[in-house]
Every structure is written in C-alpha cells, then in structure tokens.
Structure 1
C-alpha cells in the first residue's frame, strides 16, 4: 500500500534564526480519503538508477493564464502559423530581415499615431529604428494576407527577392522585410515630403506650391523610373498602378516611385472599380483588363497632366465634362491660349512658355487613345531632357530646390 502525505510548513520561523528550509520541523499528516477526488496525479519517472522505482506526486493543477496578445496580431497568427516558411531560399534577398518584435517596437506597437495611410495592400506605419551606429526612419507596409494567392509565404519571399533587386535612384528603396507568425511586413525608406498627390491636392496652409522647375524634375525622375522598369529590368516590370499617390518626394523633391513589383497583388477588378484609379486607366485596360508597358505610359501622361493643371485625375466635384482630366484637357493641349488657361493657378504665371508647350506635347503623345501611338518611356525621358536643356533649367538636372511640408519646429516628422 502506498501512503499519501502532504507536507505543511509551520508558519513560525525557528527561534534561533537560520534557514527555515533546513531548520524548520515538519509535520506529516494523512489526507482524508474524501479529498482524493480533488487531486490530480502526475507520475514522474525518477532519474535514479534504481530500476522499476516510480515516485508519485500529487498536486493541484491550474490552467495557465491567457496570454494578453497585442491587438495588432490575432490569436491564430501567433498559435497556428509557422514562424518562417519552410524550404524557402533567402539567399537571393538583398534586404534586412527584421523580427516582428523589431518592427512592433519601432512603430510603438503599430499605434494609430504612427499610421501613415492605407492602400491596396494594407496599412503603412512610420517606424524608427536605432542602434549604436545608425538611426533610421522607415515606412512599414503591413500587407493583408488576403492579398496573396495560395502558399502566401513562398509568394511573399519571391516578391521580396524580386523587389530587393530593384536599384534605381527614382524608385522607393526596400530596406527590409519580416515574415513571422503569419505577418507579412515590408520596410521602405521613409520620405518626409509625402506623395506628389498630397503636394498637389492637399493644402496644409503653410507649404509653398511646387515651382515649374520642380514639376519638370518630378516628371523626369518618374519617367526614368518607369524606363528602368520597362527597358532595363529583365524580365521587364509593368507597374500597373502608376499614379501621383505612388510618387514619393524626398527633402530635395526628388521623386521615388513606390509599389514597384506589386502588380500581381492587385486584382484587375479592384483597380477598375476605384474612382481614383479610373482617371489613370488607359482605354484598352477598360475594354480588356489587360495591362502593358503602354498602359503605364498612359498613366504617366495623366500624372504629367496633374503637374501641369494641379487637378486630380478624376474629380467628381467638377462638372461632368471636366471630371475626367484627360477628357477635359486633351483637346486643349495644342492650343496655346487654352493651355495658358489650364495651367495650375498656384504657379502664378511663373513658367517659360516654350517649356510649357513642350511639356504639353509630351503629354499629348502619352495619352493617345491607341496604345501603338504612345512612345516608349525611353523616348519620353529624352523629350523631357531636351525640354530641360533648351529651357536652360540646369537646376532640374543638378538637384534644384528643397521644400518640406512634413516637419515642425522640433525637426521631428509630423503627419
């Protein structure tokens, strides 16, 4: 018969001090038989060399307290999904691998205060990462898993590998990525001046409007980015979602095209149903849903129209004939008098007339209804370079002005 005992330590200390664990007398009391049902038994095999010896210890067990997960991550992500995809090749990725903990700390737990915006793929947060030698401000995209096809982890790694190889001064640069606990995160360099769309269409009450030289510089840099994607990358890359909100501006107002390589993540139907995107959509895309380099060229021409007029690509607040920027502006691009009336009033007439006319000529070619009549981006780049050279706009090629719309007196970033 095996006896069951519990050891109860006396509540008073030994009168002469010392270690109570060693010196305190113990009282052994049998447990009433009626209490056996309240106990659970765990069998522990003793590591001693005595064969067949088994010690049985009885104790009350309580379930562990529920982990308080951060609200940014659901329970299923942390418990049911692998930390990292198995059998994926990370050697081809040219970017830093961050942990979820790194980015959660850098974004203050993905707080609303650090939310920059929300796009087709998910939310974007401002992040600050510091170490002993460096301090970086990043824009972290938290991509919705619903954006991925089957085998999302493999697809994400392939996407990161492709994006990390893009290298052009006018593309938004990928700094790092994170694939943990079912989270898909991309970290990009942060551009404090926001997007071209914000600069043109959102007045903050204190920013100066873009000068004509800055507008030409932004057009030229963006054209070079598309030229690189179309004609240098192999295989070539179609942007598919080129618009002013995907052109980010740094402190010197140099453009950096974002969301490059994301075309596979955007359903054609989603692009076609969006009011914002409808103004950038080439006619053949509306008809067939097929995107190409020439549809990117069309979208680029629409962005040039935004730079020229200061109007949105599609604006329901305008009278119906003027809601579509291309439909309203195209017939007037070769009319000098009408062109002067179309120019963004914020420029206050401060632009060279010949430069304006050449800019309009380039737009007219890009927004041709038939894709075969649109030029390749390399020709668009050359036409803008000639425009700069003939107009003696040396500052456009050498750097130009610096304007900031994203700072306060403390020097910190604000939104």
Structure 2
C-alpha cells in the first residue's frame, strides 16, 4: 500500500517538468516529482488507480518509484534530475557514445521485460522517449507515466498511446498483448541509434501515421541507424521488433539479453527463440 503523504509537505514553489497522458508533473521543494491528474472525475479515478496500482507493483531500478499519495489525485514520485531521453538524444550538444546509447536501451529493455514478467503482466502501452527519464548524470534510466498501463486480461482499448510509437494492432483491434510494447521499444531503439525522430521526414500529418504503419506497413528508414557498433545487427534487431505480426517480434527478455552482449556474441542469438513463439497465435 502506498504511503499517505500530507499535502503540506509538497506545497511551495513548484516547477513544471512535463505533461503526461493524464496530468502534469511538477517538482516540489523536497525534490520529489508530484503528478496531479486532470480530466473528468471518472477519468481521473480510473487513471489514478491504474497508475498508483501499477507503480506499487513495479519495483525495479529502471522504473520510476512511487513514494506515496497526497490528497485525492496527486502521486508523489521519485525525482529524475536530468532531461528525459527525447531531449537528451536530440540535443546536438549531447556527446553520447555508441556504447552509452546501447547501455541506456539495455536499461529500458530490462525495465519493460520486468513489467512483462509480473503476474499478471503489465502492458505500458505508451512507451516513448518522452516517458523515459534520466538521472545520475544521464547514466540511469527510469520508465515513467503509467497512466495508460494495464494488466493483461483487463479491458483493453484501441488507439491508446502516441501514434508514432503505437503498434499497428492497437490501431485496428482491442485484442493485443505485451508485444505492443515490443513494437514501441523497437521504434525507440531506432530513434536512439539514428538520432532522428520517427516518420519526421516521411509523413507530414500526425493523423496519417496510424494508417501508414497499420495498412501500408510504413516504418522508419533502417539505413538511418548509424550510431552503434554494428549497424547491420542493430538494424536486424529493430526490424524484428517492429514486425507487423506481433508473434514474430522477440520478447523484451530477448531484447535485454541481446543488448547486454557484445556484437560478436549478439549475432548468434539474434533470431527469436521458440519461447518467443509460444502460444503466439492465441490472441490474434
């Protein structure tokens, strides 16, 4: 159960850190992050309960920590003192080595793999660089914004998440599994290893992205992947991750394993194992 935190301890001067799916996130004087939810009462309650419940269940070094609850609709969370991943990788003044890029994506893969290992497993459903925070001088990665997260087996909804990172099956059906997070992760991996925004030079209108990715099977240009040690292996891994068929995508556990290896070892394990295909067509 989350601690109940007296509202007076998080009053005072606040600074807006960012806006998530269901609310705004601020800093407080105690150097914690406080998320205040918005929208209608029914929507707030559903989002608040989902985010608080999932953050309480998810205790992992690469997932933002929930300290407690204050008032009706305020979450008091761990504060990440560096820019989020999107600002970090798209800042031309950031000097990021190829090995550091891979290490950050390894941490992200381990965090998502942990969510998928829980019983019942948790789908994040809105993985994107803006929802990935950095701390410890940009060395430690923390996944945040669980407002759209759901436990597998609960009611699913179509068109959840951000269009550029949303798996095709979410655009077309309410029947999907944790492999929707794998697709999103592959898009993030492409973005980190290319230094570009997905679809920025391919689609002018954001509204067209779901149609292009679902019906036309459009994906970012793999030839843009250059900021890694072995581009061919990385491109192969990304391509498998964003496969249109969810059951063809490797598991997040496999992604974490591959990204933990040096490139000479990675190529021998690149093809998904039989475990990745286990019960593959059950939900499709």
TM-score range, shorter-chain basis?
Answer: 0.7 to 0.9
Structure 1: 5+ residue runs without aligned partners?
1-92, 130-136, 334-338, 392-415
Residue 167 of structure 1, aligned match among 30, 55, 59? 59
State the match for 1:126 in structure 2.
Answer: 27
TM normalised by structure 1 equals 0.55
Aligned residues: 254
Change (3 A) 1:149 1:118: closer
Change (3 A) 1:373 1:322: farther
Deviation readout 1:99-154 (Å, 9 max, x if unpaired): 2222123xx2x4xxx1112221111111122xxxxxxx11110012527459x39x
Q: Does 1:301 align with 2:186?
A: yes
Change (3 A) 1:224 1:148: farther
Question: 1: distance between equivalents of 2:41 and 2:19?
Answer: 14
Per the TM alignment, residue 244 of structure 1 is displaced from its structure 2 partner at its CA by 0.9
The answer to whether the Cα contact below 8 Å between 1:321 and 1:327 also exists between their aligned partners in 2 is no
Structure 2: 5+ residue runs without aligned partners?
151-155, 267-284
SS in 2 for 1:255: strand
The answer to whether the Cα contact below 8 Å between 1:298 and 1:368 also exists between their aligned partners in 2 is yes
Change (3 A) 1:148 1:291: farther
**Over alpha carbons, which structure has the higher Rg?**
1
Question: 1: distance between equivalents of 2:261 and 2:255?
Answer: 10
State the match for 2:282 in structure 1.
Answer: none
- Please report the RMSD computed on the Cα atoms of aligned residues, expressed in angstroms: 3.2
Report 1:10-409 matches (<5 A).
93=1, 95-105=2-12, 108=13, 110=14, 114-129=15-30, 137-144=31-38, 146=40, 148-149=42-43, 152=45, 156=48, 159-179=51-71, 183-201=72-90, 203=91, 207-231=93-117, 233-250=118-135, 251-260=137-146, 262-263=148-149, 268=157, 271=160, 277-315=162-200, 318-320=201-203, 327-329=218-220, 333=222, 339=223, 342-343=224-225, 351-352=228-229, 355-387=230-262, 390=265
Per the TM alignment, residue 177 of structure 1 is displaced from its structure 2 partner at its CA by 1.5
SS in 2 for 1:192: coil
Per the TM alignment, residue 257 of structure 1 is displaced from its structure 2 partner at its CA by 0.8
Q: 1 or 2 for the larger relative contact order (CA 8 Å, sep ≥6)?
A: 2
Per the TM alignment, residue 313 of structure 1 is displaced from its structure 2 partner at its CA by 2.5
